[in-house]
Amino acid sequence: MEYIQDVILLCLYVDDLVITGSNEIALHKLKGKLNSEFEMTDLGELAYFLGIEFLRTDQGIIMHQQRYITEVLERFKMQNCNPALVPVEGNPKQDLHLAQEPANATVFRQMVGCLRFVCHSIPELAYGAGMISRHMANPTQVHMTAAKRMLRYLKGTLNYGILFPTQKVNDQLQLVGYSDSDWGGDKEDRRSTSAYTFFFCDAPISWSSKKQEVVALSTCEAEYIVACNAACQGKWLTSLLSELKVEEDMKIELRIDNKSAINLAKNPVSHGRSKHIETRYHFLRDQVSKKKVELVHCNTEI
């Protein structure tokens, strides 16, 4: 089979296009063909796409949403608010399900929608946005205060973004993931919250914060479940990178802070502490045995 050296990637969303590739001549030919078939306007180098801005620097490309965040703050009259150092309180109130004064549900849902969109460039908002999203049906003033706190955090981090560093020819391509969970973090149904982040070439490319579907009986089980979900995401990312002609059969390095979960994934023997875990979560054990995923202990304090 002939090896394809030149690659052209075309990203299409409704009538917005982003085109990139490894051969500038081939890119010009493609643009000419598209322009002959459709009415198009070439806006030049990528700078703004679907509310996300891109800034090219000597270190690499920075992806941010400063313009969108400014518009959001003005929309909710928070442009002159005091900045917050962190998006979520360190010890959030555990009685959010108790009777509280109701808030404007329409405004609250608009805030949540805006915050979730900002998560595309500010990953640390994912946890807080997920927490308040659980109260979309009946929000109270407590939930509204939590949403406004995240807007205050955005006020102080307008110049934040994600840096995709410029890669050198000899740089090693590696996909590294981090996963973690809180055991029984939700005081209403006692389900844990899973979180994972994947880095490719020292840049975050995928992240998630989501409540688990089952109640974990131990921290080991909670960590094992989130590690499985992260392994599934990592498997999809390697498949995507393969389609983009980046690298074939890339190994995933998954770093977690629970040694019991690592041992459970490596030991196929079922015992009383793990026999109740649903079969689908043992996908992690399968990937570890096939050496597709490497589990590494990561000390939380480091």
Rounded to whole angstroms, the Cα distance separating 64 from 13 reads 19
- Considering the domain architecture, whether residues 229 and 255 belong to the same structural domain is answered as yes
Residue 20: its pLDDT value, please?
86
Per-residue pLDDT, 95:
52
Query: What CATH number does the domain containing 281 carry?
Result: 3.30.420.10
Q: Strands of 162-165's sheet, edge to edge?
A: 48-49, 52-56, 60-64, 162-165
Q: Which two tokens stand for residue 203?
A: 């840049």
Instruction: Determine the pLDDT at residue 115.
Output: 94
Give burial (CB, 10 Å; 0-12/13-18/19+) of 158.
middle
Q: Please tell me whether residue 242 adopts helix, strand or coil conformation.
A: helix
pLDDT score at 114: 94
Q: How confident is the model at residue 248 (pLDDT cuts 50, 70, 90)?
A: low
Report the alpha-carbon distance of residue 56 to residue 41 in Å, rounded: 21
Closest CA to 200 of 178, 179, 174: 174
The domain boundary, picked from 156, 191, 215, lies at 156
- CA dist list (Å): 177 to 103, 157, 201, 273: 38, 25, 12, 26
- The answer to pTM > 0.75 is yes
| H-only helix segments in 77-165 | 105-118, 126-133, 141-156
User: β-pairing, 252-256 with 293-297?
Assistant: parallel
CA distance 241 to 248: 8
- DSSP for 5-60 reads ---EEEEEETTEEEEEES-HHHHHHHHHHHHHHS------S--EETTEEEEE-SSE
Q: 21: Cβ–Cβ under 8 A, 6 or more apart, which residues?
A: 6, 7, 8, 9, 27, 30
Residue 151 falls inside a structural domain: yes
For residue 230, is it within any domain? yes
Distances (CA, A) of 265 to 222, 249, 290: 13, 21, 12
Q: What confidence tens digit (pLDDT) does each residue in 100-114 have?
A: 788 899 999 999 999
Count structural domains, the chain: 3
Side-chain half-sphere exposure of 105, counting CA atoms within 13 A = 7
Considering the domain architecture, whether residues 190 and 75 belong to the same structural domain is answered as no
Comparing CA positions, the residue from 250, 231, 228 lying closest to residue 239 is 250
Q: Are residues 26 and 78 in the same domain?
A: no
Q: How many angstroms separate the CA atoms of 253 and 258, rounded?
A: 15
Whole-angstrom distance, CA of residue 294 vs CA of residue 177: 10
**What is the rounded distance in angstroms from the CA atom of residue 222 to the CA atom of residue 225?**
5
Query: Domain boundary residue among 125, 156, 187?
Result: 156
Domain C-terminal end among 100, 123, 156: 156
pLDDT band at 3 (very low <50, low <70, confident <90, very high): very low
Residue 97 has pLDDT above 60, yes or no: no
Band of the pLDDT at 302, cuts 50, 70, 90? low
If you average pLDDT over every residue of the chain, what do you get? 85
In a domain, 53, yes or no: no
Together in a domain, 293 and 173: yes
> 271-297: per-residue pLDDT in tens?
666 667 777 778 888 888 888 888 888
Q: Is residue 162 part of a domain?
A: no
Residue 161 lies in a domain: no
Task: Give the pLDDT confidence of 48-64 residue by residue, as tens digits.
Answer: 888 899 999 988 899 99
Q: Is residue 77 part of a domain?
A: yes
Q: What is the pLDDT of residues 66-78, one digit of tens each?
A: 999 999 999 999 9
Same domain for 251 and 206: yes
Q: Which domain holds residue 260?
A: 169-297
Query: What percent of the chain stands above pLDDT 70?
Result: 90
Query: How do residues 161-199 score in pLDDT, each as one tens digit?
Result: 999 988 776 777 888 999 998 887 777 888 889 999 999
- Alpha carbon separation from 209 to 15, 124, 237 (Å, rounded): 31, 10, 17
